[in-house]
Amino acid sequence: EEINYLENPVVVTASRTDQAAEDTLASVTVITRTDIERQQARSVQDLLHGIAGINVANTGGPGKLTTLFLRGTESDHVLVLVDGIRMGSATSGFSEIQNYPVELIDRIEIVRGPRSSLYGPEAVGGVIQIFTRKGGKKGLKPTLSFGGGSYGTINGSATLSGSSEHAWFNLGIIGSDSNCFNACKCSFSAGCFTVEPD
């Protein structure tokens, strides 16, 4: 019987084996590439907002430390994997998802609930696994996107993917820049008497 993967996504993270999402006993959410493009999310935290059981805390604008709380557990009790490899920071101790480009993501699997028996002590609250995009089966596939906004904000990405019988590749370059705005511009009405550029 042929499986429609858009309607019945296959989940790997819940049991470390291929399994249809509807057949797994775990509480699972799958964000597909179609979902990502439909939402037009600019960051991983944008994708995770509104997912049941996940709270996202951000210390500022884009690029600032973002922490995840899954089912009420601490932020260091959520294991984040990228293609099966643990993702973490040596300085903050958290998974720095704010720096991972959405353009390179194929899908995200979120498994809520304890998974320590499969993944170790970091998976008390659950596991979030990011799968990167892989080369297509029909020659080279380039993608290009640009965007802009207020405060001199610009962003762009260019990717090239491809595959052969025995290998695949996906190369990408992504960048963004913004002048942002200053918290204080020496305004008497705001109670600030100095210029504090941010």
Q: What is the pLDDT of residue 1?
A: 36
Tens of pLDDT along 47-96?
888 888 888 888 777 777 788 888 878 777 888 888 888 887 656 666 77
CB burial of 3-27 (b: ≥16 within 10 Å; e: otherwise) equals: eeeeeebbbebbeeeebebeebebe
Q: What is the pLDDT of residue 23?
A: 60
Under the banding of pLDDT at 50, 70 and 90, the label for residue 150 is: confident
145, 103 Cβ separation under 8 angstroms: yes
Report angle CA 112, 115, 119 to the nearest 5 degrees.
130
Instruction: Outline which parts of the chain fall under CATH 2.170.130.10.
Output: 10-132
- The tokens describing 13, both together, are 């993270």
**pTM of the predicted structure, to 2 decimals:** 0.72
May I ask the CATH architecture of the domain 10-132? Answer: Beta Complex (2.170)
Average pLDDT value over all residues in the chain: 77
Q: What is the DSSP letter of 53?
A: T
Q: What is the pLDDT of residue 6?
A: 47
Helices and strands in the chain, H and E counts: 3, 14
Q: What is the DSSP letter of 23?
A: G
Please check the confidence at residue 18 and state whether its pLDDT lies above 60: yes
124, 110 Cβ separation under 8 angstroms: no
Please check the confidence at residue 20 and state whether its pLDDT lies above 70: no
Residue with tokens 């370059």: 173
Report angle CA 6, 8, 2 to the nearest 5 degrees.
90
Q: What is the pLDDT of residue 78?
A: 83
